[in-house]
Amino acid sequence: MRRYSCMFLVVLVTVLIITGCAAQQASGTREQGLDKKGILVVSFGTSYADTRKVTIEACENRIAEHFPGYEVRRAFTSSIIRNILKDRDNILVDSPEEALTKMKEEGFTEVIVQPLHIITGEEYTEVLETVADFEGAFEKLVVGRPILTTIDDYKAAAEALKTQLPQLKKDQAVVLMGHGTPHPANASYSCLQLVISDMMPNVFVGTVEGYPGLDDVTARLKEADIKEVTLVPYMVVAGDHAQNDMAGDEDDSWKTILKKEGFVVKTYLHGLGENPGYQQIYINHVQDCIDGYPMGHQAE
């Protein structure tokens, strides 16, 4: 009996020693500061270097300044854009999957993925799917929400937009060119229109590839007796759509079509990413991820 209890004691002590060592080792790792935190900023990308610098890059830089404890990295979702940049400019940009793979290999423990997307459409859904493949690869992995997600987001987006728009007389209007999509999130543009209309008159939302289209907007401009229109991209970047489809000299650009309809047309070639208010919105969405409210405080 005595021999058994003696053995039991030996075993118990051994177990305690081993557990103690393991615990010490674990806390030792923590103390050495191996917590590696990153923010992956994901956008569609653009091959236009000038606008990229003042929009996407500016947003990344603002986020980096605001979160010094995090390493900020870039990914572009568009393989076409990534290939143009690689072949033409020798600029290498990761896809979201490549960027997350590298961060996993480099031992990041916490990753916030912040899309620069406007709506919760196809691009954003693809980001969510990519991130889902990395479940368990990091201690913490959270995706921030796009510009237009919660109702509070729409209001913040409209407020921030207001700061970059000109003062309008009764016969002057701003026409925003959103992207538009066959995805159900196309409804975001109509919601944005209502929120903006509650706040300011004569600002009309249109889209290149969805509803409302330019025809719908033109009808509203005529109904409101508008004589002069300023075209403004409602996109992060003033890239191909803004420079060609909106402000180009081709027959089918919005500028040309509206001129033919008899309007005086001005163009404004700055992406939303240049607007400090929009940069701040992205910062707020990252902060919400860090605080545990990735879909906004209201939604949870």
Nearby residues of 75 by Cβ (< 8 Å), 6 or more positions away: 40, 41, 42, 43, 93, 94, 95, 96, 98, 99
Known active-site residue 285: no
Taking each continuous run of H as one helix and of E as one strand, the counts in the chain are 12, 8
Q: What residues contact 182, with CB distance under 8 A and at least 6 apart? A: 209, 210
Q: Nearest-CA neighbor of 118 among 157, 89, 84?
A: 157
Contacts of 194 (CB under 8 A, 6+ apart): none
Phi-psi region of 33 (alpha: psi -120 to 50; beta: other; left: phi over 0): left
Q: Give the Cα separation of 41 and 21 in Å (integer).
A: 40
Q: Which of 179, 241, 285, 297 does the annotation list as catalytic?
A: 179
Which DSSP state fits 239?
-
Alpha-carbon distances, residue 273 vs 18, 147, 238 (angstroms): 54, 11, 9
Contacts 24+ apart (CB under 8 A), 129-132: 130/96, 130/97, 130/100, 131/96, 131/100
One-letter amino acid for residue 185 of the chain = A
Could you say which DSSP state residue 234 is in? -
Other beta carbons within 10 angstroms of residue 93's beta carbon come to 17
Active site members = 179
